[in-house]
Chains A and B, each alone.
Chain A
Amino acid sequence: MQLDSVHDIQKVYRELLQCMARPGKIADIRESAAKADFVRECHPATFLVIQTLLDAEVTFHVLGDRTDAVRRKIADYTFAVHTSAEEADYIIAPKDTSETDLLEAMSGCKTGTLENPHQSATWIIETGAIDGTSEWKLSGPGIRDEEEAPITLSEALVSTRNAKTQEFPTGIDLIFTDSDGCISCIPRTTAITAKEESAWVM
């Protein structure tokens, strides 16, 4: 079946919105992702998120080894403009991105200003299975008490991300996608802590 640019995208957006509002929630967009089977360059779920958010008014940056193919695909479909990782509104990290590249781009990406915290980068990261298990726990707005981070995150990634979100309201928001058509989000307000150690009580 053909991807419906109105209704499939609306469904993806609603899932994405609920994920952003409820960090740790796993949303299944498999049904729509199956219709994006013509996409070989990245996960169909990644492609759908990109289709939902990007257009000619925003800029993006693609990391990884196969940058050109992914970049062309995104530009062809959304008319968004490719730019450097420092300036991009959306940064896409395909699954083959090396951690060094990812961390370097993350340390350099924009976080917005105190006056305009919305002018920050949103990350779309392709990850292994989003299955609800990890050694991290999440807390903050959108989470009742505590929630398990649904994805495996390396310690270096968590510490780089935490450094970028230190000065709220500036920060970065992360969207994770997997090959199964699942998505999950970690916005800047979420505290990521290791399961063993309890959060610092000041």
Chain B
Amino acid sequence: MKAEPQFAFLDEGSKKEIRRATLKAVAIPGYQVPFASREMPMARGWGTGGLQLTCSLVGKDDVLKVIDQGADESVNAVSIKKLIRATTGIPVTERTEEATLIQSRHRIPEVPMTKDQILVLQVPMPEPLRKYEKKESITKRLHAESEYSGAWLMLFEQIMKYGRTTTGADHPVLVNGRYVMAPSPIPRFDNQKMDHSEALILLGAGREKKIYAVPPYTEIRSLAFEDHPFEGEDFSGKSCRFCGATGVFLDELYSEETDVTEYQCNDTSHCADRLERQGEKEVQHATI
């Protein structure tokens, strides 16, 4: 006899605790609510925070999409999808438009999200001030006092040393004019997608035991100086080598053999979708 797994893996008591923390997180945008992170059948640091949020959210009517650094088919994304499928039986999709729940590691999809969708981001390091302050008790006080000169100084030093900010991914943002927040390691290109987003964005850090949130229509400002305005990654003049897309986040591929640098879409499902539509058009306009 085989026992049925608990719906969405987590027991109801755990879900309740995560749900309580999530509601507080939504009520206090950008504030990291501590929660009792559960042991998951996956190593911490592989998205257990996001997975716990997804398990607390998911219902029988949901359609799930999981992305790992833009890709739907990487190991991390596939194993998370398998676990949710095995414990809930809900359909999974690769198309952003079809999903009601999107769990993502380090990207926000290219297709704009709607109010009926919830984006869950996996967070390795939820504390934006950790780079210069090791103690949690002190970072908590800094947040309480809105004392963010350290975060500004960090950016200032980068500009002094390199002439520009060198944050790459996870560029800190100011939420609703109050909390400095780590947007999870999304590229700077995606920071602007968080500002006044239509969809609710939830962020979960399993190892660090924190949940935080960005409600829809909330002001998200990337930290920047007046004379050094914030800039996303610049892809002007470049396009995807497969679908030709411009204005999207591109991966840079360099071949040592041919010494050629090529670019391709980072969001694989968006790229595949475009290719499919181009294929359809070609068939329609084909002359025999």
Contacts and interface: CB of A to CB of B under 8 A. Distances in A.
A144 B217 contact: yes
A163 B58 CA distance: 36
B228 interface: no
B28 interface: yes
Contacts of B285: none
Interface in A116-140: 116-118, 120, 122
Given A21-B26, A187-B26, A189-B29, A115 B141 contact: yes
B55 to A, nearest CB: 10
A16 B57 CA distance: 11
Contact of A55 (B16, B31, B179): B16
B28 A17 contact: no
A118 B59 CA distance: 26
A7 B88 CA distance: 11
B140 interface: yes
B22 interface: yes
Contacts of B144: 113-115
B218 to A, nearest CB: 4
A57 B17 contact: yes
A10 B216 contact: no
A144 B195 CA distance: 12
Interface in A1-53: 5-7, 9-11, 13-14, 16-18, 20-22, 52-53
Nearest to B7: A6
A178 interface: no
A52 B19 contact: yes
B28 A188 contact: yes
B23 A20 contact: yes
B6 to A, nearest CB: 8
A142 interface: yes
B190 to A, nearest CB: 20
Interface residues of A, number: 38
A141 interface: yes
A64 interface: no
B243 to A, nearest CB: 32
Contacts of A169: 28, 31, 178-179
A97 to B, nearest CB: 22
A77 interface: no
Contacts of B20: 53, 58
A173 B31 contact: no
A104 to B, nearest CB: 23
Name the residue among B17, B21, B27 with the largest chain A CB count within 10 angstroms: B27
Given A7-B60, A20-B26, A53-B19, A142 B216 contact: yes
Contacts of A22: 115, 215-216
Nearest to B141: A115
Contacts of A168: 178
Contact of B28 (A6, A10, A118): A118
A116 B32 CA distance: 9
B27 A189 contact: yes
17 contacts: A7-B7, A11-B59, A13-B19, A17-B22, A20-B26, A20-B215, A57-B17, A115-B141, A116-B140, A117-B31, A118-B33, A141-B176, A142-B26, A142-B218, A173-B27, A187-B26, A189-B28
Given A120-B24, A142-B26, 4 more contacts: A10-B59, A14-B57, A141-B216, A142-B218
**Closest 5 A-B residue pairs measured CB to CB?**
A187-B27, A114-B144, A141-B218, A142-B215, A118-B24
